[in-house]
Amino acid sequence: MPAHEFTIDDLKRILREGAGADESVDLEGDITGVDFESLGYDSLAMLETGGRIEREFGVTLDDDTLTDAKTPRALIESVNALLVPAEIG
């Protein structure tokens, strides 16, 4: 059941649930332009995050999508490009 939109709040929740958060990282601030590495998320954490996004939102993320999306903004845009618009009616 794909959602109509993947948001920064969805991403923050999934990051916390899947990979945890470094105590020094404030995910509540504006992190959309901060690269994942600076936020403390390595490639393994991003693979876990990608898997959780796929299961929850019904999309398939290839490895390039995860490695090319260096920031939360880029990942959100990539996921939203894959989501099927909600049916009206």
pTM of the model: 0.84
Q: Residue 14: name the closest of 42, 66, 55, 43 by CA.
A: 55
The separation between CA 6 and the C-alpha centre of its own chain, rounded to angstroms, equals 8
Average pLDDT, the chain: 85
71, 35 contact by CB (below 8 A): yes
pLDDT tens sequence across 58-89: 999 998 998 899 999 999 999 999 996 655 54
The separation between CA 89 and the C-alpha centre of its own chain, rounded to angstroms, equals 29
